Structures are given as C-alpha cells and as structure tokens.
Amino acid sequence: MERESLADPTPTVLFGAFDRHNFGDLLIAQVVARMLPRRELLFAGLATRDPHGDGGPATVALARIATFARGRAVNVIHVGGELLTCNAWEAAVMLAPAQRVQALIEEEGKWLHDTRTWARRHVGVASLAPYALSKSALAGVRVQHLSFNAVGGVDLDVRDTALRADVLAALQTADTITVRERLTLARLAEMGVNARLIPDPAVMTAALFGATIRRHAANEAMRKVREAFPHGYAAVQFSADFGDDATLDTLAVQLERVAQALGMGIVLFRAGAAPWHDDVEVYERLAGRLRVATARVFASLNLWDICALIAGSRAYCGSSLHGRIVAMAYALPRVNISHPDHFGSSRKLAAYAATWEAAGLAGTVPLDGLAHAVDRAMAADFETLRNTALELARRYRAGFLLHSSV
C-alpha cells in the first residue's frame, strides 16, 4: 500500500526535528506526509535545510510559517520523535554546522544563565523545549488544530523543572496528543495531561514505502553489499558515544561471534550524521578490528538506502530506535544495544520494546550479551514477527485518524 486516503482542505504544518540528519526524524516526516496525500503541506523545523540528496524533506524555519499561512488558519502536527525532552541548547548544537559545534558546546554556561533569551537567538523560539510548540508560539499565525503525534518523553521526570513547565504549557494548548510508549504516557499522566497510545509512525515504513525501498535495494550501493555477503548480513549501527577503545573492543568480539556463528557479514551504517549522532570514523575503527571479509561500512546517508539496507538484512542490531522499528515493520530479528555508561539514552529503547514487542523478544541488551541476543532473535518465530508488524501498522493507521480528521 503506497498511499493513504485521508483528505482535509486545511493547510497543514508538519513540525519536527527533521531539520538535521537523523534517520528516524527524516523517516517519520515522510510517513506523516504520505498519510496526508491531498493536504497542502509545509515542513517546518527550527532551522531551514535542504535535503542534499538524503531523502528528507526541504524544511523551513518557524518564521516562514506565517508566509505559508497567508492569513489562513492552519493545522500544526508535531510529527513524532523524542521531542518533549530536547532542550534549546541541545537543539542548537545538533543543528549547527560542523565548524560551529564546539563554540556552541562552550556556550552551555551562557544558555544556563539566560535560557530564554539564548533560546530565542539561537533556535527562534523563547522556550526551553523548542520542539514542543504551543498555539501561541507562532507569531501572526492562527492555529486551528494543534496535535502531538506519537511523541516521546521518557526522561521528563529527570528534566529541568522549567523545561517541564514549558512542555506542559504547550501540551495544554493541544487539541490531540498521542505518545508512542507507555512510559511517556505515564509521565504525562503525572503532569495531568491526557494522551492516547499509538506506535511510532515508522511502523508504516513497509506499508507506505515498499516500492520506493525496493527501487533503492536495486542500486549500486546495495548490489555491492549483496556481492560482498552472498549469505546475508546483519545491519549494525551505534552512536558516536560507543567510540571509546574498550567499547569498540567489546563490540568487535561480539560481532565476530555473530558473523561466525550465523555465517553472515556485518554492515555498519549511520542512522544520523548530525552532531552527537553516528560517526563514520568510529565505524572505520571498528571495521579495522574485524576481519576484512567480515565487515564493511555503508557510506550512503540517503534515507531510502538505509531503509533498503535494513529491509534486506537478516537482522538489525544497534542503538537507534528507528532502526529497530523499521526492522519490526519488515518482520526481521532485531536487538538494541546499550552503552554501560549511558543508561539514560537506552530508556526510550527499552520503553518502546516493553510497550510493543511480543513476549520473549529481546529489547535492549548490554554489549557483552550482543552475540547471544542476536542468536536468540534469529530463532524467533516468523509468524510472531509478521503479526507484530501488521498489528502495529493497523494500530498506527487507526490512531492517526485522531490527527487528521479535523
């Protein structure tokens, strides 16, 4: 199924963190747009960006929304992702060009001294939680319907009180709120916010973009992967904070065991090139620890190439939640890994798996248990994996009606 049939004449702003290169944010933006095929759409973030061939949408900054509206009322949909816990300083660093990243990191003290002034200057909105827009955040724009679609906020309980207040203020102006796992549902309930539970938009990947992904599976990059690993491969990804030598040594041992025990190659891919995401240099250091015939680094950052790589794999393992969700959509074995020194970053992975995975399927595992977890995942019942994929797509399609029938 390549298109949905929901229609509404109201011009709609799709807002999210797809103004930087992060696989999941780019993908969910395209999913939500495909779910609204006959709507006049504008993709907006905190910064203007061009796609640069990565498969993501061209995006305008918040100030351009008024031009799009031209005096008309608009709907605004927060397309999803872990939007509720990203503060303005983190957003500014992740959006910065490479030559500006270090300078912004060093401005954390200035940000803490005068958060709202700093936020307005650097991300265009005087909010500590700039990816959570209220109806009043867009000057000169009349917002008819404001919704939060399958958003995450598992760390709201440990975030700054002022950030929580800004999130609450935005949510209180929303007409529709859905969240993607039970932990965020509980966090919002503690704040007095009623929300509904639906899966992440990326569960629709195979249903909506199957033909697109098959076309990308036929390109040269994927052909080289298949030639290198005729018996199949595991699609493997991890963020830059896994890049210390001890961690890479552990990963190398575990991935060698996976390759030898299951007779498949290891393809390392980036699920994000923005600051604090994945680093190709770290991947190359890991590949250097593995036998030449075992591993290769997948260079493409194109959204649909990455989907094709995951869809064509025998298993996915990594630190990306959306890598897992695409594997779920294709009924593939999947395992998320956690860094021993970064427990907080794995909470959303564990929360999502606990909400939507079938009993007995691994959620997040420590690095030294990776090989065993992949072996167990490969033994999972295919019908169970397939039924999970179909059920999550059904649930998301039904839940999305809350955001589109206005």
Give 88's contacts (C-beta < 8 A, 6+ positions apart). Answer: 111, 115, 118, 119, 122, 123, 125, 127, 128, 129, 130
Cα separation of 200 and 107, whole Å?
Answer: 33
Report the alpha-carbon distance of residue 72 to residue 376 in Å, rounded: 54
Nearest to 49 by CA among 29, 20, 78: 20
Report the C-alpha gap between 58 and 141 in whole angstroms: 21
Residue 75: its H or E element: strand 73-78
Tell me, rounded to whole angstroms, the distance of Cα 13 from its chain centroid: 19
- Per-residue pLDDT in tens (0 to 9) along the chain, 406 residues: 344 444 558 899 999 999 988 999 999 999 999 999 888 999 999 999 987 789 999 999 999 999 999 999 999 999 999 999 999 888 888 888 888 888 888 888 777 778 888 888 888 888 999 999 999 998 889 999 999 999 999 999 999 999 999 999 999 999 999 999 999 999 999 999 999 999 999 999 999 999 999 999 999 999 999 999 999 999 999 999 899 999 999 999 999 999 999 999 999 999 988 887 889 999 999 999 998 789 999 999 999 999 999 999 999 999 999 999 999 999 999 999 988 776 556 789 999 999 999 888 878 999 999 999 999 999 999 999 999 999 999 999 999 987 765 4
User: What's the CA gap between 206 and 194, in Å, rounded?
Assistant: 30
pTM over 0.85: yes
* Amino acid letter, residue 381: D
The set of residues, in sequence order, having a beta carbon less than 8 Å from that of 253 and lying 6+ positions away, is: none
Pairing of strands 265-269, 295-298: parallel
**Domain annotation for the chain: domains and CATH numbers:** 12-197 (no CATH), 204-392 (3.40.50.2000)
Output the furthest CA–CA distance in the chain (Å, rounded). Answer: 62
The DSSP code sequence of 92-104 is HHHHS-HHHHHHH
**What is the C-alpha separation between 250 and 262, in angstroms, rounded?**
18
Characterize the bridge pairing of strands 196-197 and 176-179. Answer: parallel
Orientation of helix 321-329 relative to helix 303-311, angle to 10°: 60
